[in-house]
Amino acid sequence: MPEDPKKTDDAWYSGLPESEEDRLYTESVNRIKTAVEQGLGFEEAAKLVEVKDAEARESILDDALKVIIAEMHFAKQEQLEKLAKKLKLPIEKLMKARQEMLADVELAAIEKFKEETGQSGNA
């Protein structure tokens, strides 16, 4: 039987039970990504997500947009303007999400540096 390249059996978290929230989150993000790949705009794809909790829904939509930006803009180097047209979203929305992503990466890098060098607090 061929090995599934998407499987992460060697990951530290493999084998841990997935919560209902985690399953719903993963399914929702994947549903949006698939719908966008099939030609729906982001807002149209977002309507396919059936999450009643407004805060959870916003988090899912925010993360799904960032995943799409990471995959299409950063990994596949698709221009943000072209991606905005494909997603049928204002370029400003994508630019804001991209800035948030870069800020998150910056904070994570700073925290990792502090952890590895034994520093604490603000530098």
The domain segmentation of the chain, as residue ranges, is 20-117
Residue 6, classed as helix, strand or coil, is coil
pTM score of the predicted model: 0.77
pLDDT confidence of 17, banded at 50, 70, 90? confident
Q: Which has the closest alpha carbon to 41: 93, 119, 112, 106?
A: 93
Looking at the predicted structure, is the pLDDT value of residue 122 above 60? no
Please tell me the least confidently modeled range out of 61-65, 75-79, 103-107, 117-121.
117-121
Please tell me the predicted confidence (pLDDT) of residue 68: 97
Residues contacting residue 54 through CB under 8 Å, at least 6 positions apart: none
Q: Which has the closest alpha carbon to 98: 60, 72, 59, 120?
A: 72
CA angle 37, 18, 27 (to 5 degrees): 20
Crossing angle (nearest 10°) for helices 91-117 and 80-87: 120
Amino acid identity for residue 37 in this structure = E
